Amino acid sequence: MTAKDQIQETISTNDVVLFMKGTKSMPQCGFSSRVAGVLNFMGVDFADVNVLSDEEIRQGIKDFSDWPTIPQLYVKGEFVGGCDIITEMTLSGELDTLFADKGVSFDKDAADKIREANA
């Protein structure tokens, strides 16, 4: 199976996927840590893919999305963005809307607390 096939299968079989450096319980870069932290705090059930453990996936995800950086968040098979985009979407409430529209469960109160803490 090619890296592209593995990526497609992963994003097709999981509602929310974060391609990241490290794991959701032990991120290995600040940007990955920030996005995983937001998702964990909001109670989102997500699959994590550690790109550091597979060079083909690490390069493959960049080619797949045509996005040069890690982390990368996918929701219901669609590429959403990297750390800056997810941070902006969290603070604006767009991430809440995306999750609600896609039927992904999350803790609205936790999302509100993130915004309050960053107001």
Binding-site positions for [2Fe-2S] cluster = 29
Binding site as annotated, residues: 29
What does DSSP assign to residue 22?
A: B
Q: Report the C-alpha gap between 70 and 59 in whole angstroms.
A: 10
CA dist 87 and 15 (Å) reads 19
| Unique residue bearing structure tokens 């604006």 | 92
Cα separation, 91 vs 66, in Å, equals 25
CA atoms within 13 Å, Cβ hemisphere of 60: 19
